[in-house]
Structure 1
Amino acid sequence: MDKDNRNFLLLFDIDGTLISGKGIPKQVFYEVVLNRFPYLSPDPGIDLSGQTDPAIVRQVLHSGGYELEINYELIGEILNDFTSLLNERFRGENSPVVLPGVQSLLETLRQTENCYLGLVTGNIKKGARIKLKSSGLMEYFPVGAFGDDSEIRNDLPPLAMRRAAAYYRQSFTPQNTWIIGDSIYDVRCAHANNLHCLAVASGRTAHRQLEAEKPDILVRSLEEIDGFFNRIRHHIS
């Protein structure tokens, strides 16, 4: 089969890649955690970029010495409270901001033959839906894998690929599947699954840090991309 006729699956991260939450998700998260654990540091300095939501809860509680209290039920309760409060806060001027170039890029990709979109995100599914709905991007992503599917981010791409294959009724190979994200963990989960990666330095991770992880393509903004799909397709031609 001609490589140009193969199906391409593009799996996007959300925070820092598609949208900016303007710091509100982090504020809401610590508000919820501190409500249950008032003696915890209000910001222990943990890098939240690219982590799954359950892993973030576990790390934050561990940093405060609450190892014995950590269990799946507690993590679920905290994340349920978090998403409920986030849904209330993401209104009006507090709605997340779509990052430059994203809307036009997604619209172009959606209309591109042999190109299919999905998600690989550390957000739990409910949180992902809140963020995408609040930013007007929900319609582009009918499938994906989420933080409540696995606490380990590297587990998510194969699941997203299977769900995309079932939803779109198409087959996708690792060679033609791309992870698109803004953190070192996006790049690492792509490498761990023998997938390609386009890293974008539009989030909290510096360009030089992303470069050190050796993504296939590295850009400073999705606004920079000229002929995005052709660039990806021809990268492996």
Structure 2
Amino acid sequence: MARCGAFSDCGRLGGSASGGRMRCSGQWPRGVVGRIGVLMATGGSGPRLVLWDIDHTLIDGGKVSRRAYAAAFRQVAGRALEQPWQFDGRTELAAASEVLRLHGLSPEDGLLAAFLDLIVAELRQREAELAAEGRVLAGALEALTALGTMSDVRQSVLTGNLYTLAVLKMNVFGLADHVDFRVGAYGEDAYERIDLPARAFARTEEHLGRRHVGADTVIVGDTLRDVATARAAGARCVAVATGSTSAAALTAAGADVVLTDLADTEKVLSALLGGGPGRGSGG
């Protein structure tokens, strides 16, 4: 690996569940160095805040989260989880509430909070399973690393995961060094995903001293909810067809750029650092 030599304030990129900072390794994965040079030679300035979805955008966690939900439900309800449900970009608040309602249970009276606490506990117990069954999606590490060398770009996550689970998953797959968790938005911040960008923008003002807005933000995700969230926030949307939603559906929903995956780092960086909403191109 080549040393990046560009992380002048590398410690700012990371975070931990306790609020501490983690330092990046300062290395580029093989093959990225030349691609960054190509992009930077074009003089692209791009957005200053990049907010990544996690599941099926950066990682594939297999069925581990579903098993954690099933185990947590059995504890909180005293019976097996039977009705099927979909995450599809929902926040953890929304997904857990739906699971309870599908089984005739009300999320009120503390049941939802207890369920969420148990989900966290169950997934923590399954970290080894997550590492064994899951994987970083092709190109995700390269894209995160490349953006991390750009001093005018800040990266975080906009995810349906609870904060604790977002940090856990990113740590398990070695991606946590590359994002600033302080300015992200998480599954306990709002019931509807569409309300998450406002939380991230407020946190940029609190922690960075500058309030970002949609015009200087790009949201990256794999579901129709990711696209709708970006559109509502006035942010650029880069969608990846690495989940259950097709490229055609993501395009029809209004994504500025739709990528098959993140494997081509040069193409990913061009999409992320391109024009504002409505000025992208597919790939």
Post-superposition offset of 1:225 = 4.3
Give runs of aligned pairs for residues 159-170 of structure 1, distance below 5 A. 159-170=199-210
Partner of 1:172: 212
Question: Deviating runs (4+, > 6 A) in structure 1?
Answer: none
One-letter amino acid of the structure 1 residue matched with residue 136 of structure 2: V
Greater mean deviation of Cα atoms: 223-232 or 56-65: 223-232
One-letter amino acid of the structure 2 residue matched with residue 185 of structure 1: R
Post-superposition offset of 1:191 = 1.2
Post-superposition offset of 1:5 = 5.3
Greater mean deviation of Cα atoms: 158-167 or 214-223: 158-167
Partner of 1:102: 140
Partner of 2:90: 51
One-letter amino acid of the structure 1 residue matched with residue 128 of structure 2: R
Change (3 A) 1:39 1:171: closer
Q: Indicate if the aligned counterparts of 1:32 and 1:82 stay in contact, CA closer than 8 A.
A: yes
Q: 1:120 aligns with which of 153, 158, 165?
A: 158
One-letter amino acid of the structure 2 residue matched with residue 63 of structure 1: L
> Per chain length, whose mean CA-contact separation is higher, i.e. which structure has more relative contact order (CA < 8 Å, sep 6+)?
1
Q: 1:135 aligns with which of 166, 169, 173?
A: 173
Instruction: Determine helix, strand or coil for the equivalent of 2:187.
Output: coil
Change (3 A) 1:72 1:189: farther
Q: Indicate if the aligned counterparts of 2:70 and 2:81 stay in contact, CA closer than 8 A.
A: no
Greater mean deviation of Cα atoms: 133-142 or 15-24: 133-142
**Rounded Cα–Cα distance in structure 1 between residues aligned with 2:159 and 2:66:** 16
Post-superposition offset of 1:23 = 1.0
Give runs of aligned pairs for residues 57-76 of structure 1, distance below 5 A. 57-67=96-106, 70-71=107-108, 73-76=110-113
Q: Alpha-carbon deviations, 1:153-212, whole Å to 9, x = none? A: 111111112213433344533112111001111111111222111111112222232222
Paired residue total:
232
Change (3 A) 1:106 1:174: same
Q: Indicate if the aligned counterparts of 2:73 and 2:81 stay in contact, CA closer than 8 A.
A: no
Q: 1:83 aligns with which of 120, 141, 147?
A: 120
Q: Alpha-carbon deviations, 1:26-75, whole Å to 9, x = none? A: 11112211233245542x222212001111111111112223xx226221
One-letter amino acid of the structure 2 residue matched with residue 56 of structure 1: A
Instruction: Determine helix, strand or coil for the equivalent of 1:118.
Output: strand
Please say if 1:152 is aligned against 2:189.
no
Listed as ranges, the gaps of 5+ residues in structure 2 are 1-42
- Greater helix proportion: 1
**Rounded Cα–Cα distance in structure 1 between residues aligned with 2:233 and 2:135:** 30
**Rounded Cα–Cα distance in structure 2 between residues aligned with 1:5 and 1:196:** 14
**Rounded Cα–Cα distance in structure 2 between residues aligned with 1:220 and 1:172:** 28
Instruction: Determine helix, strand or coil for the equivalent of 2:154.
Output: strand
**Rounded Cα–Cα distance in structure 2 between residues aligned with 1:108 and 1:198:** 16
One-letter amino acid of the structure 2 residue matched with residue 87 of structure 1: R
**Percent of paired sites with the same residue:** 25
Please say if 1:111 is aligned against 2:149.
yes
One-letter amino acid of the structure 2 residue matched with residue 124 of structure 1: L
Change (3 A) 1:139 1:156: same
Instruction: Determine helix, strand or coil for the equivalent of 1:226.
Output: helix
**Rounded Cα–Cα distance in structure 2 between residues aligned with 1:52 and 1:132:** 17
**Rounded Cα–Cα distance in structure 2 between residues aligned with 1:181 and 1:51:** 12
Listed as ranges, the gaps of 5+ residues in structure 1 are none
Instruction: Determine helix, strand or coil for the equivalent of 2:111.
Output: helix
